[in-house]
Amino acid sequence: MWCSPGRDSRNLLAASLLPLSLSLLARPSVIADDAPATVDTITSAWNARQASIESFDFEWWVKRFESGEWNPAVRLDAARKHVEAVPPPDTTFIATYRYVMDRGRIRMEYKGKEWSTDKSEFVPKHYVEIFDGNIRKSHFLESASGFPSASLGGFNNNNTVGKLVWLHPLNMVYRPFDKAAGIFDSKKLSLKQEMSASESGPVMVLGHGEGDVWVDPKRDYLPIRYIVLRDGVKVWQMDLSFNHDERDGWVPNSWTINQLDRDGKARASESAKVLKFSINKPVADAEFELDLSAGAYVNDISAKQVYIVRPDGSRREIKRGEYNGHNYKELLESDPTER
């Protein structure tokens, strides 16, 4: 005989359904397949994903390609030193990145190579950039300068650490409109083409200024391609691939980024593969603190101080005009000014 549930049974049933209800509310809204998609549909899905992902931590390796004189900074350095040393064409090497975001704080770390005009070869490059919610901190543990260095605050006192172009694939997915790392302006998005064919199936194409964004309607409008044009010529193209994770949904697992010249030839590129990731897990405060290495030449712009960190942790203060660009070793080995 069927009997109506008692009050305790009803309470137990409601309690058992509560986690499911909360999980459904936490996820981005899903539009019915037969509902016509609009720009608002897509931006709502992007905003919902951005709001639901409070923190992430990704590590990946890349195969990087550089085509000789692609970097204006290298050409400028060579001209300043009156040398003709430039990177050889079609150079490739392996590098790794780590990118962490948590409540507006950012940590980015790169280990790879860079061209040394002085040595006429690629040398190790390892640097960490942090925005701790207040100031920006940059620390080059290895670089073409030959010694560690750091810059704290001042004109770098901003939250643009996440704007590096090689971080765009993750920002497109998790921080599309974010102040610190976002690359899209929702007001510039327009529905350029409702459906277009791709290798993975039908996609929607959005216009964004002088660029196009391809999104996948079957995967909650994830961006899978971003093309940037200048004067009608394609200068950047980024393509993303995803794996489905039982807990975190569709997660980027690989991507390519190509910077192109006006003839369509790659000037620089990176082919990336994610090594590990975590989403919405606690991030230690220590990740956003800078541990200056011994010997670091520090320009603390906010405090208006320049010094070298001695091996014992003391500071060798550098007075105005004392460093001439070539006497780092002599300053490091000279008697420190105790502070």
Give the pLDDT confidence of 159-205 residue by residue, as tens digits. 789 999 999 999 999 999 998 899 999 999 999 876 666 666 689 99
Sign, CA torsion 317/160/272/70: negative
Residue at 323 is within a domain = no
Residue at 126 is within a domain = yes
Residue at 116 is within a domain = yes
Task: Determine the pLDDT at residue 5.
Answer: 38
Task: Determine the pLDDT at residue 73.
Answer: 67
Q: How far apart are CA 253 and CA 244, in angstroms?
A: 9
Helix (H) or strand (E) holding 13: helix 7-26
Residue at 195 is within a domain = yes
Residue at 305 is within a domain = no
Residues of the chain with pLDDT under 50: 1-32, 337-339
Q: How far apart are CA 191 and CA 204, in angstroms?
A: 8
Task: Determine the pLDDT at residue 28.
Answer: 44
Helix (H) or strand (E) holding 252: strand 249-260
Task: Determine the pLDDT at residue 90.
Answer: 86
Residue at 236 is within a domain = yes
Task: Determine the pLDDT at residue 224.
Answer: 96
Task: Determine the pLDDT at residue 84.
Answer: 65
* Number of domains making up the chain: 1
CATH of the domain at 230: 2.50.20
* Structural domain span for residue 61: 46-288
Task: Determine the pLDDT at residue 174.
Answer: 97
Task: Determine the pLDDT at residue 70.
Answer: 63
Task: Determine the pLDDT at residue 35.
Answer: 60
Q: What is the phi/psi pair of residue 312, to 5°?
A: -90, 5
Residue at 100 is within a domain = yes
Task: Determine the pLDDT at residue 155.
Answer: 62
Residue at 172 is within a domain = yes
